[in-house]
Amino acid sequence: MNLKKKENIILIGGGGHCKSVIDVIESAGLFQIAGIIDIKENIGKKVLNYEIIGTDDDLPTLIKSYQNYHIAVGHIKSNKNRIALYDKVKLLNGNFPVIISFTAYVSKHAEIGAGTIIMHHAIVNAGAKIGCNTIINTKAMVEHDAVIGNHCHISTGAIINGGVEVGDNTFFGSGAVSKQYIKIPENSFIKANSVVKVESQDEK
């Protein structure tokens, strides 16, 4: 029996979120983690048995050997580092595969942008569109026809209801719930357990 060899992937960021990313990648079994990029002081250390092999300054060299990357830096207070690292790899023509946990449900009628991760037990329903470099975290739900922008973080257990538009760079906190068919502006910070009832333009 011929088993397809797993493609290598480099993770960028070695903190707590990286551990969750590793778990999703291992569970999906689609990639072999070839190493982690982090700060200089952590080179040689390991995150869940995967070695930190360099810093982002090493990316121009690494790109010659590794094509696939994932931004494993978290997004809570700010996503500036996530965006800067994503843009740096894009300029080097690196590839950002979509990563989906085997326990997640993603409709075949949904669209997922490059570098986005769909984590354990998350749901992305029909007609939903999710941008690039976005985190759909554990048990989050993105309902039908919702549109999530680039560089967003939909946190654990959050619910984005049908037809909602979430602007770029938005943090949507754990357990927060949106009303259906509303527009959430870019750069928004939605607190955990909030109920978001912003009126859309159509409802005013």
Summarize the confidence of residues 63-81 as an average pLDDT.
93
Q: Residue 51: in which H helix or E strand, if any?
A: strand 50-54
Query: 176-182: long-range contacts at Cβ-Cβ below 8 A with a sequence spacing of 24 or more?
Result: 180/143
Its CATH architecture, for the domain 99-195, is: 3 Solenoid (2.160)
Ranges of each domain in the chain? 7-91, 99-195
Contact (Cβ atoms closer than 8 angstroms) between residue 135 and residue 153 = yes
Q: What would the pLDDT profile of 29-60 be if each residue is shown by its tens digit?
A: 889 999 999 999 999 999 999 999 999 999 99
Question: Is domain 7-91 annotated with CATH 3.30.300.130?
Answer: no
Which residue is associated with the tokens 């040689």? Answer: 44
Which 8-state DSSP code applies to residue 203?
Answer: G
What pLDDT was estimated at residue 77? Answer: 79
